[in-house]
Structure 1
């Protein structure tokens, strides 16, 4: 008999050993040794205590905290599930509770979309429904990895996620957005990758809600939902993802409080059913990991069974962890009584407790360390988490209709676009970003009867903005919004963006809508992505994760390509450090505080994404009107590289011009002077010997008292005085010939570097004669209008509201007035405000588009303006010892390949092709006086540029 008992004991030992090795919780032999030692050292009371995970809060009173501490100390509970809501406080409490724990506590949280689900200071990852639309499952693994990293930081070992319920019921009140969708394989793939990502960080994932909560119309927090399907359907849909995750090594599964007659017709909730937990999950599906109950305080079980009793039933059913127990002491005693009576065997207890100990070793509790609460919130919000979040939203965005390939909108010339926001939530970023690409009118429509307001628009963009407050908010679109969409779509190019659940499509008539996309959530990032898809800054990549109706099925996807247009991103998403970028704020404010300029605009982009776009200060020194992003500045000499130069580059690209031909070949009249033999390259590199400047205006005014000579000027425009200098000042029509003659006969100096404006008067003459159009019309037609640079003009008073134009200097020597919408440069003023070297007004946003076009190699928005070879030719070093390219400024004595230009009024544009950087800095440092040198002396433009470089270099 003794030998038989020995054999049986040995058999049970070997069987238990193999079960542990075969467990998804298995790490190594040292783990098993540690588990056995801990298990043997515990009393029966302590062993049973390990089964319990109770709820802890970081926002409750001292009595709650003392109660949890007492449970840890006297009841030897196995762990805690933290609910809400403060990270540092939770960290401190975790450390406090672990000090009295004999075996370190297993800390769990519901963190389906990251720790933000419970901690209010943490930024959230996307909901599962959004993730379900992503085709690249590696991105899902990255999300699991990032959430695992968050959990490590917070001392959380157990994430009660992912949800792998197949959401086949749109009316499901509790799953919905928490599900990856309605397709079994997609749900399983997403769940597996999410789980594996966390597993790499030694964080336990718990697939839920077994055996499947997707096709329910009631909430198990309040009742016991019934799943009526037969066994065949359950195995093919509800159970299938769980089996796939079991096969992939999921360490834990949470059992839901459901009634599933096909699995157990006794009426017992699945959590308490041995048929479901032991017979099905353990024996038939061969799951060997941890089995966790859903919260035992939920009415799905709590209404039927008293605290303590429900815990005992759950354990007897086969669960290992009793979650959210309401009465640990009573429950422990009931379980111990059953063990002492032999109704529950020691082996059954050992099975669960050893799994729990294996889990504790798996997450590193064999070498437990306190949580470091220093910089905890910052570490929970690492920049790379936001990068990943943005990446998910962009990859999830799903284009479901694109009739006639209307998207992306390519030709932006002479089109009118309206934006109609519908439903209840914020739309500001979407509208703002639409306007970045092209002027868009905001049209409020209250009912279908008002769609006549849209009759004159070429495109109508409608945004359905649902609340993003929680995943449980209703997805339904109001009847009024549906009627507006239907009516607006008739005979119009309507583009619809749904910022909410795809189930919002259910009863939405899109039969006449030209294009429609689902963005899943209503956030700055999704609004940004939608605008970028519409205008081609990014392509559409996502797929519909659910069957919505007969029109919109799982997997529906239409792809689009990007068109080299600027988009938006957070700095970290393009490899820059946000904290360094933020130094630009300080530099900008310091410039204003020091009196270097009344206000300014700064836009910076990296890798084709705007990562900084801010306006500071006021339009003038009087500080009456704040600067906005649509205000325009006199950009002074930046005109050279943003008006004249790109037109010359187009001619070079077409082979109609080359930089080594003589000036006389394009401007024959120069052949009668010594200027005719000058090479274009020499002129553009400021190495032709031209004088730096000629004060043309000095011959026409008494500079001592700023009195204009009547030989030149009239207060009224007439045939003799057709050129407007400013209001009520008109100059003789022959002045342009006089200026040209003065330049052509000005004495040449030696051919060494000397900056000069004069060559651009000559280039203007060439361009206007060749194309038989004034320069302002020419550049607008060829460049600004195709690029939708809607705030870029010569003569801005003819195009813009005066309040949108930033005033410059109080001219005391020539025009004797505040220059508001009139060019500051005197020579350009005498040319009527349109000159090759000055006269352009623009916003930083517009100039960023143009500078990005240069970085793109001469293309933008699907249109090519000149070749990459041309931009390379113009931006290379032209002569030894000369820091200039052909027209562009460069850094002196540096190997840096950056190029750009400065403007007298306090402006700068800069590109770096190596780092793919764009910087536009606009100010009016000359307000009120051109004598203000503080901007240059303080090197504010250079310091902002350096901050941009530092953000890249330091990141590297």
Structure 2
């Protein structure tokens, strides 16, 4: 992983500091400007036409300490409702529509899992959480997890065997939801990959039991506040991009057009703070998160993890992070690129080999959810992979990708 840390002296004490992001040209970042222009144009194309991929899209691309492209297109809020008979959105009056910007908060959906994973690795670094410890050691009342010897590592790598999700949104109250979680036994073979929201929900309970703090406080105090990510928080978030006119039968709850409250039905049922979903953030804030990972856990004077523990987090198979997945990473996949996607249309990719990152936020579920299509995510990542041709600051060719 490229090291961008330097030692600085502040008030007579020496501390590690990593360069902050700054806007510059693609050439300065060692990126082909023509490929970046294509990428920006394609982002605009995603929000146009009779069947746009998303109502609105925000993009930030960077390499080293440079932001090489920051762009937004389309609408954060475009529709008042979804017309089931016409299979189309009911557009708001033009004066009521809200443009998407790179500072628009977006419901991150499963990108929340990355922050929960970092919070867990912070506890591992401190020695308060064992990566191969049994969940039952921290949560003895979670009977099924204890009985089947589910481990913290299995939760972080989606190898616990737990089912993908539960209808917590149909429970009568919090007590029933908690009892349902406590009773969940593996349905698959432990050690075999099966993506599951329940892994991060159990991990949330482990962290909260271990620290005595709630997940929202742990993420704020341990990640977003040190990094200066002031726009990243759990909802409600009134200024956020709208998501879905959430109604059955296409959704799992009848809540109407959503804006500023979490889209995920289980996270909503759990009060908006959940290990698998619930965070809102902006493209610029997530760029800082990506830069901190590429800098070995540091950004400016802040450090959220030591380099060895960032390596633990990102080394295959990844702890919370997906590794080398061409279906959304395109040609960046194959050498240790990491990232994640979210159901609402969000994604980020970090490539330690080329020291690049891509944040693509969208509200693809506005005005209603459709079958997932990650091809635009993969195309954007491929554009970035093909853009890498110089070392940052315009130095000699780095050998390409």
Structures share fold, TM-score greater than 0.5: yes
Match of residue 658, structure 1, among 125, 130, 136 = 130
User: 2:275 matched to which residue of 1?
Assistant: 836
Q: Residues 854 and 734 (structure 1 numbering): CA distance in 2 closer, same or farther, change over 3 Å?
A: same
The normalised TM-score by structure 1 is 0.35
Structure of larger gyration radius? 1
Greater fraction of residues in helix: 1
Paired with 2:272 and 2:225, the residues of 1 have a C-alpha distance of 20
Aligned residues: 353
Paired with 2:138 and 2:121, the residues of 1 have a C-alpha distance of 14
User: 1:943 matched to which residue of 2?
Assistant: 379
Match of residue 591, structure 1, among 32, 38, 46 = 46
Q: Deviations over 1:577-619 (max 9, x none)?
A: 1111111122212211241100111111101211111111111
User: 1:740 matched to which residue of 2?
Assistant: 181
Cα deviation, residue 815, structure 1: 3.0
Cα deviation, residue 562, structure 1: 6.0
Match of residue 688, structure 1, among 160, 184, 190 = 160
Q: State whether residues 113 and 277 of structure 2, in contact with CA within 8 Å, keep that contact through their aligned partners in structure 1.
A: yes
Are 1:577 and 2:32 an aligned pair?
A: yes
Aligned pairs for 1:892-907 within 5 A:
892=325, 895-907=334-346
Paired with 2:367 and 2:32, the residues of 1 have a C-alpha distance of 36
DSSP 3-state at the match of 1:887: coil
Aligned pairs for 1:304-453 within 5 A:
none
Are 1:614 and 2:71 an aligned pair?
A: yes
Match of residue 361, structure 2, among 893, 903, 922 = 922
Match of residue 757, structure 1, among 186, 197, 204 = 197
Q: Residues 672 and 891 (structure 1 numbering): CA distance in 2 closer, same or farther, change over 3 Å?
A: closer
Paired with 2:311 and 2:165, the residues of 1 have a C-alpha distance of 28
Paired with 2:135 and 2:387, the residues of 1 have a C-alpha distance of 43
Paired with 2:356 and 2:110, the residues of 1 have a C-alpha distance of 21
Aligned pairs for 1:282-293 within 5 A:
none
Paired with 1:733 and 1:671, the residues of 2 have a C-alpha distance of 18
Cα deviation, residue 672, structure 1: 5.4
Match of residue 811, structure 1, among 223, 246, 250 = 246
Q: Residues 652 and 886 (structure 1 numbering): CA distance in 2 closer, same or farther, change over 3 Å?
A: same
Paired with 2:144 and 2:159, the residues of 1 have a C-alpha distance of 21
Q: Deviations over 1:798-843 (max 9, x none)?
A: xxxx3x2111011102133111111111110011000000000000
Match of residue 870, structure 1, among 299, 309, 312 = 309
Paired with 1:737 and 1:839, the residues of 2 have a C-alpha distance of 18
Paired with 1:850 and 1:916, the residues of 2 have a C-alpha distance of 13
Greater RCO, 1 or 2 (C-alpha within 8 Å, sep 6+) = 2
Cα deviation, residue 736, structure 1: 4.2
DSSP 3-state at the match of 1:589: helix
Cα deviation, residue 563, structure 1: 3.7
Cα deviation, residue 673, structure 1: 4.5
5+ long unaligned stretches in structure 1: 1-403, 411-560, 701-711, 713-731, 879-884
Match of residue 321, structure 2, among 875, 888, 913 = 888
Paired with 2:46 and 2:159, the residues of 1 have a C-alpha distance of 33
Paired with 2:314 and 2:302, the residues of 1 have a C-alpha distance of 21
User: 2:291 matched to which residue of 1?
Assistant: 852
Q: Residues 687 and 673 (structure 1 numbering): CA distance in 2 closer, same or farther, change over 3 Å?
A: closer
Match of residue 141, structure 2, among 669, 675, 680 = 669
Q: State whether residues 152 and 203 of structure 2, in contact with CA within 8 Å, keep that contact through their aligned partners in structure 1.
A: no
Q: Residues 746 and 679 (structure 1 numbering): CA distance in 2 closer, same or farther, change over 3 Å?
A: closer
DSSP 3-state at the match of 1:759: helix
Paired with 1:605 and 1:632, the residues of 2 have a C-alpha distance of 19
5+ long unaligned stretches in structure 2: 1-8, 79-90, 327-332, 391-396
RMSD in angstroms over aligned alpha carbons?
A: 2.4
Q: Residues 562 and 864 (structure 1 numbering): CA distance in 2 closer, same or farther, change over 3 Å?
A: closer
Cα deviation, residue 694, structure 1: 1.6
Cα deviation, residue 735, structure 1: 4.4
Q: Residues 670 and 858 (structure 1 numbering): CA distance in 2 closer, same or farther, change over 3 Å?
A: same
Match of residue 775, structure 1, among 197, 215, 229 = 215
Q: Deviations over 1:619-652 (max 9, x none)?
A: 13436211122210000000000x2111111111
Q: Deviations over 1:462-490 (max 9, x none)?
A: xxxxxxxxxxxxxxxxxxxxxxxxxxxxx
Q: Deviations over 1:389-428 (max 9, x none)?
A: xxxxxxxxxxxxxxx968xxx9xxxxxxxxxxxxxxxxxx
Paired with 1:679 and 1:770, the residues of 2 have a C-alpha distance of 15
Are 1:602 and 2:41 an aligned pair?
A: no
Q: Residues 734 and 590 (structure 1 numbering): CA distance in 2 closer, same or farther, change over 3 Å?
A: same
Aligned pairs for 1:71-86 within 5 A:
none
DSSP 3-state at the match of 1:753: coil
Q: State whether residues 673 and 745 of structure 1, in contact with CA within 8 Å, keep that contact through their aligned partners in structure 2.
A: yes
Cα deviation, residue 676, structure 1: 4.8
DSSP 3-state at the match of 2:339: strand
Q: State whether residues 663 and 676 of structure 1, in contact with CA within 8 Å, keep that contact through their aligned partners in structure 2.
A: no
The normalised TM-score by structure 2 is 0.82
Aligned pairs for 1:107-118 within 5 A:
none
DSSP 3-state at the match of 2:254: coil
Greater fraction of residues in strand: 2
Cα deviation, residue 674, structure 1: 5.4
Cα deviation, residue 669, structure 1: 2.2
DSSP 3-state at the match of 2:194: coil
